[in-house]
Amino acid sequence: MSSKKEMRIMVVDDMATSRGQILQALEDIGLFNTEISSDAMSAFKQVATKRVHMVISDYNMPGMDGLQLLKSLRGHPPTRGVGFILVTGRADDATIARGRSLGMNNLLRKPFTSQAMKSCIEAVVGRL
């Protein structure tokens, strides 16, 4: 990817406040090309039709959780290579292991700072 201006990110969280915090952190680090979704199923449909470079998803959501979204993305050839960061306050060993086994690129623990978000993304895509 040639620049962070070109990087497209899908933010998925069922809570408007949490989506806002993620978007604010992304804006703080200069990432403005974002899409949002309030549920994982809608996010999957959007990502399958509108190419993004990365999905930043909450773990705990009704219906389909963040790891189920990850599994769906990895199982669908057009979205298999999309970067995936799980955001959670529940970063227990079992959740982390399951995420890694499904192809999670990184994990960000709540609460987080803009700098933590930047470091997390850079661990996936390189220096911003």
Yes or no: say if 66 and 59 are a contact pair by the CB < 8 Å rule: yes
State the average pLDDT over residues 14-40: 97
Instruction: Give me the domains of the chain, ranges plus CATH numbers.
Output: 9-125 (3.40.50.2300)
pLDDT digits (tens, 9 = 90+) for 69-119: 999 999 999 999 999 999 999 889 999 999 999 999 999 999 999 999 999
| Token code pair at residue 44 | 């999957």
pLDDT digits (tens, 9 = 90+) for 29-46: 999 999 999 999 999 999
Instruction: For 66-84, give the DSSP string.
Output: HHHHHHHHHTSGGGTT-EE
Closest CA to 34 of 42, 25, 69: 25
